[in-house]
Chains A and B, each alone.
Chain A
Amino acid sequence: MVVTHNVKGFEEFSKKMEELETGNNAVHVLFSGGKDENGESWCPYCVKAEPVIHDALKKAPDNSHFVHVDVGERAYWKDLNCPFRKDPNTHLIFLPTLLRWKQPQRLDGERCSNKDLVEMMFEDED
């Protein structure tokens, strides 16, 4: 079973990664735009990617972790000094971005809603 975590904002995210990176299992992280009170995200590609990614999660290795990061509101993300953009480990340019923590595997934008590529990401052994 994949262990799923939901965090909100940069501080919660950093703390969660510190906790998870001590383990030996792969950690996949999805960064997406924050949701309003109706559960709707302001980021259309994130909305499109979410069901594809959650469906593909069954392909991820057992005991691996999946962290869904709510990056925050649009204005916060659009600020070029947003910590998610500046952090050398995330270095985000697009939302959504799906990556394997501290590994080369990374998909962004529309590619996050491509089932084939998302599955490849979860299954990739290199």
Chain B
Amino acid sequence: MSLTLWNSRFSVTFVRQYATIFTSGSVATSILQNKFTNSSILSFHNNDKPRQRTLYTMQSNRQGKSQMTDTTDSANIGGIGAAAAAPQHPHCDRQTMYDHQPNRQQSSRGTYDYDLVVIGGGSAGLACAKEAVQNGARVACLDYVKPTPIGTKWGVGGTCVNVGCIPKKLMHQASLLGEAVHEAAAYGWNVDDKIKPDWSKLVSSVQNHIKSVNWVTRVDLRDKKVEYINGLGSFVDRHTMVAKLKSGDRTITAQTFVIAVGGRPRYPDIPGAVEYGITSDDLFSLDHEPGKTLVVGAGYIGLECAGFLKGLGYEPTVMVRSIVLRGFDQQMAELVASSMDERGIPFLRKTVPLSVTKQDNGKLLVKYKNTETGEEGEDTYDTVLWAVGRKGLVEDLNLSNAGVTTFKDKIQVDTKEATNVANIFAVGDIIYGKPELTPVAVLAGRLLARRLYGGSNQRMDYSDVATTVFTPLEYACVGLSEEDAVKQHGADGVEVFHGYYKPTEFFIPQKSVRYCYLKAVAERTGDQRVYGLHYLGPVAGEVIQGFAAALKSGLTINTLINTVGIHPTTAEEFTRLSITKRSGLDPTPASCCS
């Protein structure tokens, strides 16, 4: 009985995980067989057999390798996939990852300076460069940061480490701690209720942390023998690049290039935008308190910045052109906005900025217009923060010299991250139409290097990637939004289980539970497979991460509600989802707690 259950669950998992990665059914079958082979060998570990397994893997690597180097036509994906040997799940087999012999591209030796040049030392580029070296390639990694209009610049590591996830999460934490101090009084701590943040102390703590990460990154590159070149690269032809260094120009040739240059914030095309506005590139190292701030843009970056600025005691206002959190589930997005509004962050809806001018008193006068009523308005601010989107950094690359075509300001790639030019690939935020997230970039970069130099043919699976918006009340999700589920499966094919909940810790300090809400978007009939999970509440990222693995493994509503919760937590609310939207029943909990 249990075996049957395991089998059926396994096959669901299997189809879900690999259908998008491998285009060929025959490859899928051989992986399945390999998985069994692998596990049966693993059970012999005590009998001194692992060596044999390593040898076997090396052989299959070589096979895969010869298939790949013979093929230069990046469009011929199905062919490669079908013919190559199946991979041995390198992500859970460190032996395979690091112990096999270098698998160099023999043809390139002597002709080019490097086997691989990675352009961009961010999450994608560093992961790709390091993995390529581990697999025997000779690699250089270029990184260069153009200063912002107000002169902010930073070190190696890319957006996430320097001006993205890391400083954002630290400032979010600073803001949550302030909130916690206020709650502490209700829990019996004698605290001075006039606590004040010290912006310059916060900035210097955050920047010190970033600088040590920059240092550790440089050490890691040196240790792993990736040549780090602090220069701005542009193509001369498809195998040649000129890097502008402090010391002058340097010409670099390579068999293969990986473009991982990422993106930077956009500025709106209005008077005063560049002169007086700043972006998230500047905020985390700003040398003065931001004060009363206009945040223009209601994507996740705008909302997160407004959220922590409010928590730190500044007065942010969010200006929204059309919708909040485009691309996210819109019911959840509106709840996020309402939860921020409840905390005293005003939203200027359907409004676009017209101009920014600096007044004699140093304040910034922003004129704006309501796009629906045409009504114009103005207000003064200490800081104007543009969070109106990000653009890919294709401009300086001279891609036309290499023949690489761009799409808008991004690069389109196939399922193997190949551009239209056979020896040039792209990963990370620069590629078109994929989630702009560090863990996506890291895994895609690593898998690309393994395919190029490690004989692997495993592809990046960009579906069902979990993510979190670190607003004061956090929002995390994985899988489909309700709208997308309805679009794909029809309104009659989708069941939404939802509920409001009351975190135990919220009662004593009497925190608002009005927006603590979660839902599971699922298949309406049959197994009721879960298409998407959405959670608004404390520590959302920590709550959703594990459920993301469950969803990728083919989670069903039945499994979810038969999972015993951990009490008292907020994550357990997912196991208590019983009310469907279709039933029309009240999703608010009747009493305080079980």
Contacts and interface: CB of A to CB of B under 8 A. Distances in A.
Number of chain A interface residues as a range: 10 to 19
A59 interface: no
A107 B208 CA distance: 16
Contacts of B215: 104-106, 124, 126
A114 interface: yes
B223 A124 contact: no
Contacts of B316: none
Given A104-B212, A111-B223, 16 more contacts: A103-B211, A104-B208, A104-B215, A105-B215, A106-B212, A107-B219, A111-B219, A114-B223, A116-B222, A116-B223, A117-B219, A117-B223, A120-B219, A124-B215, A126-B155, A126-B215
Nearest to B155: A126
Contacts of B219: 107, 111, 117, 120
B218 interface: yes
Interface string A115-126: 011001000101
Contacts of B212: 104, 106
A103 to B, nearest CB: 8
A66 B223 CA distance: 23
Contacts of A103: 211
Contacts of B355: none
Which range contains the number of B residues in contact with the other chain? 10 to 19
Interface string A94-112: 0000000001111100010
The secondary structure that dominates the B interface is helix
Interface string B182-215: 0000000000000000000000000010011011
A120 B211 contact: no
14 contacts: A104-B214, A104-B215, A105-B215, A106-B215, A107-B219, A111-B219, A111-B223, A114-B223, A120-B218, A120-B219, A124-B215, A124-B218, A126-B211, A126-B215
B152 to A, nearest CB: 15
Nearest to A121: B219
A103 B212 CA distance: 8
B78 to A, nearest CB: 44
A120 B225 CA distance: 13
A43 to B, nearest CB: 21
B155 A120 contact: no
A104 B211 contact: yes
Contacts of A126: 155, 211, 214-215, 218
B203 to A, nearest CB: 15
Nearest to A120: B222
Contacts of B222: 116-117, 120
Contacts of A107: 219
A120 B218 CA distance: 9
Contacts of A120: 218-219, 222
A103 B215 CA distance: 10
Nearest to B213: A104
Contacts of B208: 104
A96 to B, nearest CB: 15
Contacts of B155: 126
Contacts of A106: 212, 215
A39 B194 CA distance: 57
A34 B212 CA distance: 28
> 10 closest A-B pairs (Cβ-Cβ)?
A104-B212, A104-B211, A104-B215, A105-B215, A120-B222, A117-B219, A117-B222, A116-B222, A126-B155, A117-B223
A114 B223 CA distance: 9
A97 to B, nearest CB: 13
A43 B589 CA distance: 61
Interface string B222-263: 110000000000000000000000000000000000000000
A120 B223 CA distance: 11
A25 to B, nearest CB: 19
Nearest to B210: A104
A111 B224 CA distance: 12
A14 B222 CA distance: 32
A105 B222 CA distance: 14
A106 B212 CA distance: 8
Nearest to B156: A126
A120 B214 CA distance: 14
A114 B218 CA distance: 14
A14 to B, nearest CB: 21
Nearest to B212: A104
A111 B218 CA distance: 13
Interface string B137-150: 00000000000000
A41 B235 CA distance: 54
**Most A C-beta atoms less than 10 A away, residue of B155, B208, B215, B218:** B215
B468 to A, nearest CB: 28
A120 B215 CA distance: 10
A101 to B, nearest CB: 14
B153 to A, nearest CB: 11
Contacts of B214: 104, 126
A8 to B, nearest CB: 28
A112 B223 CA distance: 12
Nearest to A102: B208
A86 B415 CA distance: 51
Contacts of A124: 215, 218
Contacts of A117: 219, 222-223
A123 B435 CA distance: 39
Interface string A64-101: 00000000000000000000000000000000000000
